A and B are shown apart, each in its own frame.
Chain A
Amino acid sequence: MSTATARPRVRLPQLTLVQRLGLLLGSIAFLVPLLIQIPGLEPAGHRMLAIFLLAILFWVTEAIPLYATAVLVILLQVLMLSDQALVGGVGPLPPAATYFATLANPVIILFLGGFLIADGAHKFGLDRSLAAVMLRPFAGNARLSLLGLMMITALLSMFVSNTATTATMFAVVIPILAALPKGPARTGVALAIPIAANVGGIGTPVGSPPNAIALGALEASGQGISFIGWMLLAVPLMVVVLLFSWWFLSRRYIAVDTPMSLELSADFDRSPAALIFYLVAGATVLLWLTEPFHGISSSTVGFLPVVALLATQVMGADDIKRLQWPVLWLVAGGIALGAGIGASGLDVWLIGLVAWEALPLTLLLLLLVAVSVGLSTVISHSAAANLLVPLTLSLAIGLPIDPTAVGVMVALACALGMALPISTPPNAIAYATGEVPTSEMIVSGVVIGGFGALLLALVMPSVWDALGLL
Chain B
Amino acid sequence: MKLALLILEDERPVREALRRDLVSFARHVRLEEAEDVPTALEVIEEIDAAGDRLALVMADHRLPGTSGVDFLIGLAADDRTATARKVLVTGQADQDDTIRAINEAGLDRYVAKPWQADALCELVRDQLTAFVVAAGVDPLPHLAVLDAERALAIVRERGDL
Contacts and interface: CB of A to CB of B under 8 A. Distances in A.
A437 B54 CA distance: 29
B155 A163 contact: yes
A167 B155 contact: yes
B156 A122 contact: yes
A116 to B, nearest CB: 13
B77 A6 contact: yes
Contact of A7 (B82, B144, B152): B82
A171 B161 contact: no
A223 interface: no
A170 B159 contact: no
A358 interface: no
Interface in A116-134: 122
A52 interface: no
A3 B103 contact: yes
B83 A1 contact: no
Given A171-B152, A433-B143, A3 B106 contact: yes
Contacts of B152: 167-168, 170-171, 429
Contacts, number: 95
Contact of B76 (A5, A324, A429, A434): A5
Interface string B144-161: 100011001101111111
Contacts of A428: 140
B158 A163 contact: yes
Contacts of B128: none
Contact of A201 (B105, B106, B160): B160
Given A161-B160, A425-B155, A434-B143, A1 B103 contact: yes
A4 B73 contact: yes
B144 A434 contact: yes
Contacts of B160: 161-163, 201, 208-209, 324, 327, 381-382, 424-425
A9 interface: yes
B161 A425 contact: yes
A1 B104 contact: yes
B132 to A, nearest CB: 12
B155 A429 contact: yes
B63 to A, nearest CB: 21
B156 A163 contact: yes
A448 interface: no
A182 interface: no
Given A8-B135, A167-B156, A326 B161 contact: yes
Contacts of A208: 160
Contacts of A380: 161
A431 B143 CA distance: 10
A3 B76 contact: yes
Nearest to A174: B148
A233 interface: no
B142 to A, nearest CB: 8
A5 B140 contact: no
A58 to B, nearest CB: 14
A208 B159 CA distance: 9
A67 interface: yes
A322 interface: yes
A13 to B, nearest CB: 9
Contacts of B12: none
Contacts of A439: none
A14 B51 CA distance: 9
Contacts of A163: 155-156, 158-160
A327 B79 contact: no
A314 interface: no
Interface string A382-403: 1000000000000000000000
B78 interface: yes
A256 interface: no
Contacts of A324: 157-160
B80 interface: yes
A66 B159 CA distance: 13
17 contacts: A1-B103, A3-B76, A5-B76, A6-B78, A9-B79, A115-B159, A161-B159, A163-B156, A168-B156, A170-B152, A174-B148, A208-B160, A330-B161, A380-B161, A381-B160, A382-B160, A434-B144
Interface of B: 51, 73, 76-80, 82-83, 103-106, 135, 140-141, 143-144, 148-149, 152-153, 155-161
